[in-house]
Amino acid sequence: MTGTMNLRSRAQLLGCVLGLRSLALVLWGIPGARALDNGLAMTPTMGWLHWERFMCNTDCEEDPDSCVSEKLFMQMADLMDSEGWRDVGYEYLCIDDCWMAPQRDSKGRLQADPKRFPGGIRRLADYVHGKGLKLGIYADVGKLTCAGFPGSYGYYDIDAKTFADWGVDLLKFDGCHFDTLVDLADGYKYMSLALNRTGRSIVYSCEWPLYMMPFRKHMPNYTEVREYCNHWRNFADIYDAWQSVKSVLDWTSSNQEKIVDAAGPGGWNDPDMLVIGNFGLSWDQQITQMALWAIMAAPLFMSNDLRQISPQAKALLQDKDVIAINQDPLGKQGYRLRKEDNIEVWERPLSDFAWAVAMVNLQEIGGPRFHTISLASLGGGLACLPACLITELLPVKGKLGFYEWTSSLKLRINPTGTVLLRLDRTN
C-alpha cells in the first residue's frame, strides 16, 4: 500500500497529521516491532502467581497450608474453577521460585521437591488442565534461581524439553546469578528459541530488562525484547504496600516514551503482580491498582490467597468491564496524559474508537477532591468528538450520560483512589 501511495496523497496525509497535532498522540503507541511469533498472549496474560503472597515458604511441617506445595496449587486450581476466576479470564496458575529439589536428577533434569510435590509437576499439570486451566512454572537464566535453587545456565534445551514434557504452559524466566550482560541476553534469547523448538505453546515471561537496570547505560532494546518474550518485567518486585504500587506507576510514567510503544498483541510490559485481596492496600488503593493495571495493558497475575479473599476484593478482581479494558483487542498500552495539582490523568485508546480514562488522586492529606476535566483534552481531542457516552467503571459503576466535545466533567476522587471511566464515541 505505502509503496503505491502517490506523492499528493502522502502530502495530504502529512498535512492532516501536522494539522491535527493531536493525532500524534493517537498514533503514538502503535507497536512497530514484531512480537514473539508463538501466537500467544495476544491480550495480556491473566492468572495467579504464588510469589508475592507465599514467597519461598518451604516449611510444610510448620505451615502446611501456606507452604509452596502441590496442595497449595491444587487448592488454588479448585477455586479458580469453582469461584468464577477462570470464567472471567484468569487462566494461568503459576508456580514461582522454590518449587525445585536442590539438585538436578541423574540425567541433568530439574525435579520438583519430592516432599512438597510428591506427584511431580506432570501430575500437577494434568490436574490443572483438568480444571480447564493452564500451568506456569519458574526457572532462571543464570546459575541459580534468586532463592538459590538450580539455575538453567548450561541446561536451556534440557529444561525447555522437561517443561514441555510435563505439559507446562508458561515459563517465568528470572534473571538472578548471571555473569555478563551478554550471557543475560544470550540466555533469554536461547531459552525463547528452545521453548519454540519443543513445539509446545509456552508463554514466555521474561525479566530481562529488569536485570539490565543496574547497567542502565545499556538501555534495553525493546524491539529485541519483544521479539523474544511475551511479557517482560522492567522494574523492581512489587510488595503489598501503597508505596510499592506508587513506585511502579511513577517508574512507568517516567519511562513511558520508551516502553509504551513496545507493548502490543503478543508482547507486554509487565509491572508485576496484583496484590489486591491481601493486607497492605486500602480499598481505594486496590481500586487504583486494578484501574491502572487495566490502563497499562498489564498481565494480570493475582498473588493472593483465593481461599481467604473478601467479597469486595473478589468483585474488584472479577469486574468484567475493567477486565475488558485490560484485555482490549486493540492492544495499545495507555499512558499518563498529565499531572497537575497531585492529580494524574491517564488514558488508553481502545478498539472502536473508545477510550479508557483514569484519574488518580495522589494527595495523601485531606479528603476526597474534586477534579474537572475538559473532554476536548482527552484522546488527542478525539475521545469525545463530537459526543460520547461516559460510563464510570470504578469506584462506582454507572452511566454518567452523553457529553459533547466542548463540555467538561467534574469528579470526586478519594485520596490514593482512582476514578476509571470509559468513553464511547457517538455520532
20: CB partners within 8 A, 6+ apart: 380, 381
- Smallest distance from the beta carbon of 138 to ligand GLA, in angstroms? 6
Subset of residues 250 to 289 that bind ligand GLA, contact rule: CB under 6 A: none
- Does position 96 interact with ligand GLA (CB under 6 A)? The reply is yes
- Smallest distance from the beta carbon of 271 to ligand GLA, in angstroms? 12
C-alpha grid cell for residue 3? 509503496
Instruction: Please indicate whether residue 157 is annotated as part of the active site.
Output: no
Among 70, 91, 113, 207, binds ligand GLA (CB under 6 A): 207
Nearer to ligand GLA, 151 or 277 (CB): 151
* Residue carrying C-alpha cell 530481562: 208
CA-to-CA distance for 253 and 300, rounded, in angstroms? Answer: 19
Sign of the CA dihedral with 29 first, then 30, 34, and 37 last? positive
- Does position 92 interact with ligand GLA (CB under 6 A)? The reply is no
Stretch that binds ligand GLA, among 128-136, 144-152, 160-168, 345-353 (CB under 6 A): 144-152
Subset of residues 212 to 251 that bind ligand GLA, contact rule: CB under 6 A: 237
| Number of residues in contact with ligand GLA under rule CB under 6 A | 9
CA-to-CA distance for 332 and 316, rounded, in angstroms? Answer: 23
Nearer to ligand GLA, 172 or 332 (CB): 172
- Smallest distance from the beta carbon of 31 to ligand GLA, in angstroms? 25
- Does position 146 interact with ligand GLA (CB under 6 A)? The reply is yes
Among 147, 262, 325, 378, binds ligand GLA (CB under 6 A): 147
97: CB partners within 8 A, 6+ apart: 51, 56, 138, 140, 145, 146, 147, 149, 174
- Smallest distance from the beta carbon of 232 to ligand GLA, in angstroms? 11
Stretch that binds ligand GLA, among 75-83, 143-151, 289-297, 416-424 (CB under 6 A): 143-151
Sign of the CA dihedral with 279 first, then 284, 285, and 291 last? positive
Q: Half-sphere exposure of 383 toward its Cβ, with a 13 Å CA cutoff?
A: 25
Nearer to ligand GLA, 171 or 337 (CB): 171
CA-to-CA distance for 177 and 143, rounded, in angstroms? Answer: 6
Subset of residues 46 to 65 that bind ligand GLA, contact rule: CB under 6 A: 51
- Does position 183 interact with ligand GLA (CB under 6 A)? The reply is no
- H or E element that contains 300: strand 300-302
Nearer to ligand GLA, 174 or 328 (CB): 174
Instruction: Please indicate whether residue 321 is annotated as part of the active site.
Output: no
Among 70, 97, 159, 284, binds ligand GLA (CB under 6 A): 97
Q: Half-sphere exposure of 320 toward its Cβ, with a 13 Å CA cutoff?
A: 4
Task: Quickly list H helices, 83-170.
Answer: 85-88, 120-130, 156-166
CA-to-CA distance for 139 and 134, rounded, in angstroms? Answer: 17
- Smallest distance from the beta carbon of 64 to ligand GLA, in angstroms? 21
- Smallest distance from the beta carbon of 148 to ligand GLA, in angstroms? 9
- Catalytic residue, chosen from 174, 240, 284, 328, is 174
DSSP reduced 3-state for 326 = helix
Nearer to ligand GLA, 169 or 207 (CB): 207
- Smallest distance from the beta carbon of 110 to ligand GLA, in angstroms? 15
Q: Which string of DSSP letters, residue by residue, matches 182-244? A: HHHHHHHHHHHHHHHHHTS--EEEE-HHHHTGGGTTS---HHHHHHH-SEEE-SPPP-SSHHH
- Catalytic residue, chosen from 237, 250, 321, 424, is 237
* Residue carrying C-alpha cell 484522546: 379
Catalytic center residues? 174, 237
State the residues that interact with ligand GLA by CB under 6 A. Answer: 51, 96-97, 145-147, 174, 207, 237
